[in-house]
């Protein structure tokens, strides 16, 4: 999407479609809508009065101006009731708008800043949300369709008008951030939409190298032999059942002037999770091509940080492998020695995410990090506990948890904290090893997180379980059906906040 930001007067701007918004319950139109209404002889006010449009979130009505304004059409989109509205309402309204614009056959639209009056929200944030919604709403994955016509019609241009010079500066900064975060989330959707016969660990490594070539990012790929020498027995244990070679991928971006401690992000990168010898049932198994969402998000976040030239030191880690039931696969009862030295009895080979993350986190701890965040489609229990709308959060540091919670809130990718109490470790005890990889019935999301905590060093750490949000069963305003990329914008927002 080509985004232009400029100063202008909305009612005088020629456009294929002008997009305006309205809060449910407001009796008066906002300034932009009122200005357009005046040149259109009260058409918008009439619409409100008629009761055909009241401004419910994502409600959209299209009007033709029939030559009364330089713009051909006006699209009025609802933001919901002001008291319920959040930054995400703007994101949603713009996602709805861009799809409605596409339906008209137009390839561009013009709009202005929306959501004025939302508490504790800056113009930069509103602009960022506007751009994010508009870009994310256009997402389509047509790579493997012979008939590409379905995706041919697309909105490719957006102009956002600023009322004055100060707003112009805010809009520009918001647009810069919004384009970077939205493109990152779309990269994640692409990586997770590709089937596992294409998106192998080798291909993920190639995608990392591509980022290394394009940007100021150093990329290191550890091959099986190197990983063996290091002693990553847990990661290698998972890789044993697959013919695809595992890759331990490290990306480093240093935009800080001081050579400070790095922020390390670790992403679960299972390019397909069959469950291994503890085979999963067939139903919905195809969704397990997205069991690499965490890793894809780490990759996209590092790319975005370098694009935005954030003044931070960032390292991304992706332990990448398939989880397959091959002839050499690990079996229930097998004991693995992890990089940390701790031994693990594998009682269920389908609890593989925590095994590869155990080594990823131990590796991260060796980097003397300022903070570590891991992100993973870790447990079905997370889906049971939180449904579709919250990411499960665990951590050992209140300040880091607060920052992550706040970033999630503003990104519209909200987290919900769960307990990381040591009492639950009872469930992870093994008779023959330091611990086992499953915690039995009850608290499945918690025992998984507690397992991970045993491989974390003496530094602030947050674990995000995104099994609840990585895949959407239905299309939403700016979220497609299938891989969502949720978590990506949270991570980037957290890094932006660390840079301010």
Q: Which stretch binds ligand BES (CB under 6 A): 41-49, 131-139, 348-356, 427-435?
A: 348-356
Nearest-approach distance from CB 376 to Zn ion, in angstroms: 8
Quick check: 320 binds ligand BES (CB under 6 A)?
no
Task: Give the CA diameter of the chain.
Answer: 81
The interface partner of residue 96, options being Zn ion, ligand BES, none and the CB cut-off 5 to 8 Å by kind, is none
8 A C-beta contact, residue 4 and residue 157: yes
| Nearer of residues 275 and 460 to ligand BES, judged by Cβ | 275
The interface partner of residue 383, options being ligand BES, Zn ion, none and the CB cut-off 5 to 8 Å by kind, is ligand BES
What's the number of CA atoms in the CB half-sphere (13 Å) around residue 22?
A: 25
8 A C-beta contact, residue 271 and residue 320: yes
Say how far residue 125 (Cα) sits from the centre of its chain. Answer: 17
| Nearer of residues 371 and 467 to ligand BES, judged by Cβ | 467
* Token reading at 273: 């999770």
User: Which of 314, 349, 316 is CA-nearest to residue 205?
Assistant: 316
8 A C-beta contact, residue 281 and residue 237: no
Nearest-5° angle of CA 160, CA 162, CA 163? Answer: 145
Q: Which stretch binds ligand BES (CB under 6 A): 91-99, 240-248, 343-351, 409-417?
A: 343-351
8 A C-beta contact, residue 466 and residue 472: no
Nearest-5° angle of CA 272, CA 274, CA 279? Answer: 170
Burial of residue 154, with CB atoms counted within 10 A of its CB: 0-12 exposed, 13-18 middle, 19 or more buried: exposed
Binding ligand BES (rule: CB under 6 A), the pick from 381, 404, 433, 495 is 381
280 in active site = yes
Quick check: 345 binds ligand BES (CB under 6 A)?
no
Binding ligand BES (rule: CB under 6 A), the pick from 24, 352, 374, 413 is 352
Quick check: 403 binds ligand BES (CB under 6 A)?
no
Binding ligand BES (rule: CB under 6 A), the pick from 104, 107, 256, 348 is 348
| Nearer of residues 136 and 381 to ligand BES, judged by Cβ | 381
Report d(CA 432, CA 345) in Å as an integer: 7
**What are the residues facing 162 on neighbouring strands?**
7
The interface partner of residue 79, options being Zn ion, ligand BES, none and the CB cut-off 5 to 8 Å by kind, is none
| Nearer of residues 109 and 272 to ligand BES, judged by Cβ | 272
Q: Are strands 482-483 and 415-417 parallel, antiparallel or unpaired?
A: unpaired
Residue numbers at the binding site for Zn ion (CB under 5 A): 270, 273, 291, 350, 352-353
Residue with tokens 């660390």: 498
Q: Sketch the per residue contact string, 289 through 318, with ligand BES: x for CB under 6 A, - otherwise.
A: --x---------------------------
- Considering the candidates 354, 401, 414, 489, report the single residue annotated as catalytic: 354
What's the number of CA atoms in the CB half-sphere (13 Å) around residue 436?
A: 18
Nearest-approach distance from CB 192 to Zn ion, in angstroms: 13
8 A C-beta contact, residue 2 and residue 158: yes
Question: Quick one: CA dihedral 190, 403, 405, 166, positive or negative?
Answer: negative
User: Which of 178, 342, 142, 378 is CA-nearest to residue 270?
Assistant: 378
Nearest-approach distance from CB 484 to ligand BES, in angstroms: 12
8 A C-beta contact, residue 125 and residue 171: no
Please list every residue from 465 through 484 that binds ligand BES, using CB under 6 A: 467
Residue 248: CB atoms within 10 A of its CB come to 28
Nearest-approach distance from CB 176 to Zn ion, in angstroms: 35
Quick check: 380 binds ligand BES (CB under 6 A)?
yes
| Nearer of residues 55 and 267 to Zn ion, judged by Cβ | 267
Binding ligand BES (rule: CB under 6 A), the pick from 383, 462, 491, 496 is 383
Q: Which stretch binds ligand BES (CB under 6 A): 133-141, 206-214, 250-258, 375-383?
A: 375-383
Quick check: 351 binds ligand BES (CB under 6 A)?
yes
Report d(CA 356, CA 139) in Å as an integer: 31
Write the DSSP symbol of residue 459: S
Write the DSSP symbol of residue 164: S
- Considering the candidates 56, 68, 280, 342, report the single residue annotated as catalytic: 280
Quick check: 322 binds ligand BES (CB under 6 A)?
no
354 in active site = yes
The interface partner of residue 380, options being ligand BES, Zn ion, none and the CB cut-off 5 to 8 Å by kind, is ligand BES
Quick check: 227 binds ligand BES (CB under 6 A)?
no
Q: Sketch the per residue contact string, 427 through 456, with ligand BES: x for CB under 6 A, - otherwise.
A: -----------x-----x------------
- Interface residues toward ligand BES, by CB under 6 A: 273, 291, 348, 350-353, 377, 379-381, 383, 438, 444, 467
Catalytic sites, residue numbers: 280, 354
């Amino acid at each position: 999407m080509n985004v232009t930001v400029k100063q202008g007067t909305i009612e005088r701007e020629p456009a294929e479609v002008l997009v305006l918004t309205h809060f449910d319950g407001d009796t008066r139109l906002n300034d932009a809508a009122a200005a357009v209404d005046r040149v259109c002889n009260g058409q918008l006010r009439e619409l409100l009065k008629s009761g055909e449009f009241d401004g419910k979130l994502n409600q959209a009505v299209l009007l033709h101006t029939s030559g009364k304004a330089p713009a051909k059409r006006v699209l009025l989109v609802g933001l919901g009731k002001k008291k319920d509205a959040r930054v995400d309402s703007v994101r949603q309204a713009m996602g709805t708008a861009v799809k409605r614009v596409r339906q008209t056959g137009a390839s561009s639209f013009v709009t202005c800043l929306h959501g004025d009056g939302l508490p504790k929200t800056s113009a930069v944030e509103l602009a960022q949300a506007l751009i994010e919604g508009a870009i994310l709403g256009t997402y389509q994955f047509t790579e493997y369709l012979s008939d590409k016509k379905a995706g041919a019609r697309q909105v490719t241009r957006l102009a956002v008008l600023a009322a004055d010079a100060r707003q112009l500066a805010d809009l520009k900064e918001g647009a810069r951030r919004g384009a970077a975060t939205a493109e990152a989330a779309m990269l994640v959707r692409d990586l997770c939409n590709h089937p596992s016969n294409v998106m192998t660990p080798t291909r993920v490594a190639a995608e990392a190298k591509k980022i290394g070539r394009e940007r100021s990012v150093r990329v290191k790929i550890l091959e099986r032999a190197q990983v063996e020498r290091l002693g990553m027995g847990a990661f290698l244990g998972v890789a044993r059942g697959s013919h695809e070679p595992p890759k331990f991928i490290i990306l480093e971006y240093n935009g800080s002037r001081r050579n400070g401690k790095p922020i390390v992000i670790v992403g679960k990168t299972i390019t397909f999770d069959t469950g291994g010898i503890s085979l999963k049932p067939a139903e919905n198994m195809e969704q397990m091509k997205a069991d690499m969402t965490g890793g894809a998000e780490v990759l996209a976040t590092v790319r975005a940080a370098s694009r935005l030239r954030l003044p931070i030191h960032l390292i991304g880690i992706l332990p990448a492998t398939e989880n397959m039931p091959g002839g050499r696969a690990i079996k229930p009862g097998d004991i693995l020695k992890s990089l940390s030295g701790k031994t693990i009895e594998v009682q269920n080979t389908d609890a593989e995410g925590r095994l590869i993350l155990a080594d990823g986190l131990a590796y991260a701890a060796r980097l003397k990090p300022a903070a570590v965040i891991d992100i993973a489609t870790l447990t079905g229990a997370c889906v049971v506990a939180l449904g579709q709308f919250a990411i499960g959060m665990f951590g050992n540091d209140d300040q880091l948890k607060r920052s992550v919670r706040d970033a999630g809130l503003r990104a519209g990718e909200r987290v919900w904290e769960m307990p990381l109490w040591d009492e639950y470790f009872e469930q992870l005890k093994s008779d023959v090893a330091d611990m086992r990889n499953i915690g039995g019935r009850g608290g499945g999301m918690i025992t998984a997180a507690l397992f991970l905590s045993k491989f974390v060093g003496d530094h602030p750490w947050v674990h995000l379980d995104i099994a609840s949000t990585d895949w959407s069963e239905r299309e939403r305003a700016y979220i497609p059906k299938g891989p969502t990329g949720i978590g990506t914008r949270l991570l980037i927002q957290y890094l932006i906040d660390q840079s301010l």
